[in-house]
């Protein structure tokens, strides 16, 4: 229990640092390309400015890809903070999302399918612990089949070890 509290605190500190570091000079808060901050939350969703949400919350909502270490399905602290915002939205709006688990190209196809599923299940468990109904969450594992970045470098592999939250 102490680890979760520490993880949430660390995620909040990291997220705050990201928000402070992302001044109004442009760019996206997630650092992963152009992302619709309301993706997956329906036509009635509003931006942070429209609904009175903090810029930190809007920045965290824009994060829909969660990265993992090699051969791991453990959530990183920074992912937990963004997932807290997504959980709040999912509980309020009742929408369904798909959690797509991915791996890098290393390992057998079977192992990578299982690892992708474990990663998606880790995100699912976290969201359910935050009060999201399991009926709102669909799990899919693509293993190594849909890389975000093609290549056999550590940078490419790091981008492929992920779970994507999709509408």
pLDDT digits (tens, 9 = 90+) for 106-123: 999 999 999 999 999 999
pLDDT of residue 36: 36
User: What CATH number did the domain enclosing 60 receive?
Assistant: 3.30.1330.60
Give me the number of domains the chain comprises: 1
Taking the model in full, what pTM does it have?
A: 0.69
Contact 142, 101 (CB under 8 A): yes
- Inside any domain, residue 19: yes
Asked if residue 145 belongs to a domain, the reply is: yes
Residue 143 located in a structural domain: yes
Burial of 63 (0-12, 13-18, 19+ CB in 10 A): buried
Q: Is residue 30 part of a domain?
A: no
Model pLDDT, residue 37: 34
Domain extent, residue 123, equals 2-23+48-166
In-domain check, residue 35: no
Instruction: Quote the pLDDT of residue 129.
Output: 98
Q: Taking all residues of the chain, what is their mean pLDDT, rounded to a whole number?
A: 79
Q: Is the pLDDT of residue 14 over 70?
A: no
Q: Is 74 exposed, middle or buried (0-12, 13-18, 19+ CB in 10 A)?
A: exposed
Q: Among candidates 91, 103, 108, 101, which has minimal Cα distance to 163?
A: 101
């Amino acid at each position: 229990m102490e680890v979760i509290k520490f993880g949430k605190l660390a995620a909040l500190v990291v997220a705050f640092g990201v928000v402070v570091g992302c001044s109004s000079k442009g760019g996206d808060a997630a650092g992963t390309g152009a992302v619709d901050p309301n993706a997956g939350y329906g036509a009635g969703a509003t931006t942070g400015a429209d609904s009175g949400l903090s810029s930190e919350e809007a920045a965290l909502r824009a994060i829909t890809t969660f990265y993992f270490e090699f051969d791991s399905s453990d959530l990183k602290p920074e992912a937990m903070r963004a997932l807290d915002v997504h959980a709040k939205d999912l509980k309020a709006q009742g929408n369904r999302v798909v959690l797509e688990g991915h791996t890098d190209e290393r390992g057998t196809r079977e192992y990578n399918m299982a690892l992708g599923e474990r990663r998606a299940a880790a995100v699912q468990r976290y969201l359910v612990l935050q009060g999201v109904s399991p009926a709102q969450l669909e799990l899919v594992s693509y293993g190594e089949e849909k890389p975000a970045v093609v290549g056999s470098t550590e940078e490419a592999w790091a981008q492929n070890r992920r779970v994507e939250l999709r509408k």
